[in-house]
Amino acid sequence: MPALSFVGRQAQAMVMDVSGYDFASNIHLFSVEGDHILVDVNSGAIHLLDEPAREFVTALIENQGDAAQAGARCRQLFGTEAATEVEDELKQAYDDQTLFTPVELPILNLEEMPVKALCLNVAHLCNMRCTYCFARQGDFGTEKGLMSEAVGRQALDFLISGSQDITNLEVDFFGGEPLLNWDVVCSLVAYGRKQGRKAGKNLRFTLTTNALLLDEEKMDYLVEEGISVILSLDGRREVNDRCRLLNNGQGSYDVVLPRIQQMVARNPVSYYVRGTFSRGNLDFTQDLEHLIACGFTNLSLEPAVGPYEEFAIGEEVIPRVLEEYDRLTRALWAHYQAGQEINYFHFNLDLARGPCLARRLTGCGAGGEYLAITPGGDIYPCHQFIGEEEFLMGNVETGITDPQVKQRLTRNYLSSKAECRKCWARFYCGGGCHANAYFSNGCLEIPARTACAMHRKRVECAIYLEIEKIRSKAGHVEGGGLQ
């Protein structure tokens, strides 16, 4: 197989050998709205290609790195001068270590990874009956109940003492509906702040709510305490009210929308209006537009997951979902061009300041740095494993009593999964959701096919939008990228 070499140059020093290179795993070439985008997976570098360069790289991939064939095709279509220029520029990128870079998948020992974040299920009760709820209407299929202040304090002590030298710790009040246990939430915020200060820790709190019990007093408290809020609303009234039901079976839209608007108007430290899309609204761009029209700019629309086949996004609707992500991308770009930047959670991708390689390899950290606590103090790897007895790790009173669960989760990171090692999106994903894998395939080691398809598409859309923003800010100046 000939190496990529250049006319008029001395061979030995100027050869870029990409024969045998695993293109499928280590570069990704895709086109969005006429932009040809090339991702060099191992370096994180991203390039924009014109037509001759796209043709050359495509031919290189199709011919397993045979540069002679790639060059011939490029010359045939675009002439000798363009083909030579493309070869020179590819070689320059290779020399700069931004193209065709070698695989780097360090082996990590994550079993000693300290805890840094808790999902605190302060209520296994809910005042709504959402049809697609993975928490099975609030109790996760376990005993209904509220967390006592004593158990909550033990959980925070467990977090602070277990976090070793990590300063930034996170606690999400979750459920069920956490506002059903409001007094305990307030007590735990005060206790966490006090104990955190003593230990030199910075505790950040988040609260996820259906907004049904949000009143002015609670809103003021959340703002004053700097608590981030996640507010559940699916979008259009008819979409929301199909799934998000009050206990009396009525839709919740008219009750919760004004409260969510009041909460957002108070300018909390951070907020997301978070919706779920399911088989019933595969045209979810319409829901995004509706939420924007309601005055919200921080938005998250997530695919339904869980045991309910009539709602969860299955393989047969994936092509439709991917098509909708294209539509969503165009909508977000149109808003940006009109001067309205919408912060869409799953298209957040800071290309220059993303996490380090070790962090990307670790993924979500479930079972290690991230744990979920039930109202009774039981410890699970994450909120989605609650109620699955084989994943019970211990209790905040006794600590971790089954270290094998932690081993099982922390050993199951990106580098250990065959499919993930070969995936071009691996460093934007981190190895996927353990729970999605487990509930889809019955094992942790094989990622969920539908989740992977959606995630790869979201990464493509996010990269495209970031590139367009960079070009827009640079006034389309050649070479105006982030270096």
Partner 1 sequence: KHLQTIVGPVLKRRECQAACKTSCVGNQ
Which residues, in sequence order, are CB contacts of 8 under 8 Å at separation 6+?
none
Residue (142 or 276) nearer to partner 1, CB: 276
DSSP 36: E
User: Measured from the CB of residue 258, what is the shortest distance to partner 1 in angstroms?
Assistant: 22
Least Cβ distance, residue 42 to partner 1 (angstroms)? 7
Give the nearest distance from C-beta 97 to partner 1 in angstroms: 6
d(CA 235, CA 231): 12
**Residue 253 CB, nearest approach to partner 1 (Å):** 20
Backbone torsion region of residue 396, taken as left when φ is above 0, otherwise alpha when ψ lies between -120 and 50, otherwise beta: alpha
**Exposed e or buried b for every residue in 304-322, given b needs 16+ CB within 10 A?**
bbbebeebbbeeebbeebb
Interacting residues of 403 by C-beta distance below 8 A, sequence separation 6+: none
Q: Which one, 265 or 358, has the nearer CB to partner 1?
A: 358
Residue among 52 and 152 whose Cβ is closer to partner 1: 52
Nearer to partner 1, 210 or 397 (CB): 210
Tally of CA atoms within 13 A in the half-sphere of 257 that contains its CB: 17
89 and 53 in contact (C-beta within 8 Å)?
yes
Comparison of 21 and 370: residue with beta carbon closer to partner 1: 370
Nearer to partner 1, 96 or 238 (CB): 96
Shortest separation between residue 44's beta carbon and partner 1, angstroms: 4
Give me the least distance between CB of 92 and partner 1, in Å please.
8
The CB-of-340 to partner 1 minimum distance in angstroms stands at 20
* Residue 402 backbone dihedrals phi, psi, to 5 degrees: -125, 85
The radius of gyration computed from the CA coordinates of the chain, to the nearest angstrom, equals 25
> DSSP labels for 63-79?
TTT-HHHHHHHHHHHH-
Residue 354 or 399 having the CB closest to partner 1: 354
